[in-house]
């Protein structure tokens, strides 16, 4: 690591690249990017560096992608530990709740390097979720927790984390979406190329193990999607493709409009013009509040209740609730108009700037200042 690159950013998945891209660019020559390769599929991760105008990672770890959770974390920790001992940064930045996040925070902590945790404080209170364990571990280890919402900050203080180790920054997803969202003319052409109409289709994604690895749940979800009276566009995640094949459910996919996984701008282009979104994704729960689109969340629980409380999302179980809720959204003629005036609960599009300033202060040995963020809930997409 050069003397200038005193801040290491550890990431390993597509959502981390999307949400940290703005921070990385603002840190400029100060940052070293370490890619663990947790998402081994290039379509889901590596190509995103170019899409978000990022240089190739300074370091790529080996043998992480495709391994079990324990193996991913232990392998990444071992390689990161060796790297941090050889060339210690002044600060390590991690984001969210992935295995890369956990490995990066633990390796830094064991090397006495301060950790900054981006998107800290989310809680599902479901310890069966690997992500819940990861984010709880990192919150304890982090020297600074950047909370995206007031609720997340409250979660941290409720767990005994000192307010001096918490900063309310907003969520970087807002500016990431702002940057990735194509012009309306471009997004409309993408819709028309699929033979679809504005507000005339449903966009769905399913990829979480709780849904894909349970044969009954996956079958119920696909059956309910097929019942919807509008075309359902379904970008098929690699995990979902593997499970549908192993369960012999390829016939169910033929009843909906399937396509390969989409890059971020292409997905947002379709999401902007969809009547309703259906997903088990955490990121889409945030993005729907910026796009002002109704979302049906197919999850047993969620660590992002803000989208539900604001009125953008409804959480349902796998089964008839999916169809019934989508149909209710479709038949509500005033819904899309009413959502336009609802503030995004995840911030004002300046989170990356705040986080970069905090990181630079910490790397220089200074105490990041508390800020009055003013009109925090002010961003709406053009």
Q: Same structural domain for residues 150 and 11? A: yes
pLDDT (average), residues 298-325:
97
pLDDT at 52: 87
pTM of the model: 0.92
* Average pLDDT estimate for 266-295: 97
Residues across the chain = 382
- Is the confidence at residue 62, as pLDDT, over 60? yes
Mean pLDDT of the 319-334 span: 97
1 has a pLDDT exceeding 60:
no
Residue 204, H or E segment: strand 202-205
Pick the catalytic residue: 39, 207, 264, 273? 207
Tell me the CATH number at 130. Answer: 3.40.50.2000
- Give, in order, the Cα–Cα distances in Å from 381 to each of 16, 83, 202, 289, 300: 22, 41, 20, 10, 30
pLDDT at 3 over 80: no
Q: How does strand 295-298 pair with strand 276-279? A: parallel
Q: What is the pLDDT of residue 291?
A: 98
- The CA–CA distances, whole Å, from 5 to 54, 77, 78, 104, 358 equal 15, 20, 21, 17, 16
What pLDDT score was predicted for residue 378?
37
Residue 243 has pLDDT above 90, yes or no: yes
pLDDT at 68: 81
pLDDT at 279: 98
Same domain, 328 and 355: no
pLDDT of residue 307: 97
Distance CA 121, CA 103 (A): 18
**Average pLDDT of the chain to the nearest whole number:** 92
Helix (H, G, I), strand (E, B) or coil at 11: strand
**Same domain for 151 and 285?**
no
Catalytic residue flag (residue 207): yes
The answer on pLDDT for 45 being more than 70 is: no
pLDDT band with cut points at 50, 70 and 90 for residue 41: low
Please check whether residues 359 and 290 belong to one and the same domain. no
Average pLDDT over residues 56-62: 92
Stated as kind and residue range, the H or E segment containing 229 is none
Looking at the fold, whether 359 and 328 belong to one and the same domain comes out as no
Domain that holds residue 112: 7-171+347-363
Q: What is the DSSP letter of 63?
A: S
**Separation between Cα atoms, residue 324 and residue 261, nearest integer Å:** 26
Claim to verify: residue 144 and residue 290 sit in the same structural domain? no
């Amino acid at each position: 690591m050069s003397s200038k690159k005193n801040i290491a950013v550890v990431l390993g998945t597509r959502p981390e690249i999307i949400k940290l891209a703005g921070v990385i660019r603002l840190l400029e020559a100060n940052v070293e990017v370490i890619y663990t390769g947790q998402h081994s599929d290039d379509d889901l991760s590596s190509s995103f560096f170019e899409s978000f105008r990022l240089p190739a990672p300074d370091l790529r770890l080996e043998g992480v992608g495709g391994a079990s959770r324990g193996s991913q974390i232990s392998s990444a920790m071992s390689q990161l530990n060796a790297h941090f001992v050889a060339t210690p940064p002044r600060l390590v930045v991690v984001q969210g709740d992935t295995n890369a996040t956990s490995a990066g925070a633990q390796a830094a902590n064991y090397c006495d390097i301060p950790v900054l945790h981006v998107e800290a404080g989310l809680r599902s209170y479901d310890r069966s979720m690997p992500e819940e364990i990861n984010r709880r571990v990192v919150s304890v280890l982090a020297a600074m927790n950047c909370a995206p919402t007031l609720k997340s900050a409250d979660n941290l203080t409720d767990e005994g984390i000192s307010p001096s180790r918490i900063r309310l920054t907003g969520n970087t997803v807002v500016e990431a979406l702002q940057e990735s969202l194509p012009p309306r003319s471009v997004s409309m052409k993408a819709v028309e190329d699929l033979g679809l109409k504005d507000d005339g289709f449903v966009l769905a994604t399913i990829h979480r193990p709780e849904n894909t690895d349970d044969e009954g749940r996956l079958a119920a979800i696909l059956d309910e999607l097929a019942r919807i009276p509008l075309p359902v566009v379904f970008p098929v995640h690699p995990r979902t493709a593997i499970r549908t094949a192993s369960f012999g459910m390829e016939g169910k996919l033929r009843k909906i409009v399937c396509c390969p996984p989409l890059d971020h701008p292409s997905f947002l282009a379709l999401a902007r013009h969809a009547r309703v979104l259906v997903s088990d994704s955490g990121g889409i729960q945030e993005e729907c509040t910026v796009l002002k689109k109704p979302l049906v969340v197919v999850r047993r629980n969620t660590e992002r209740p803000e989208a539900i409380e604001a009125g953008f999302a409804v959480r349902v179980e796998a089964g008839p609730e999916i169809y019934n809720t989508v149909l209710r959204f479709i038949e509500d003629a005033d819904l899309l108009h009413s959502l336009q005036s609802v503030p995004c609960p995840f911030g004002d599009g300046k989170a990356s700037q705040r986080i970069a300033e905090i990181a630079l202060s910490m790397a220089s040995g200074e105490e990041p200042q508390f800020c009055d963020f003013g009109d925090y809930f002010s961003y709406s997409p053009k």
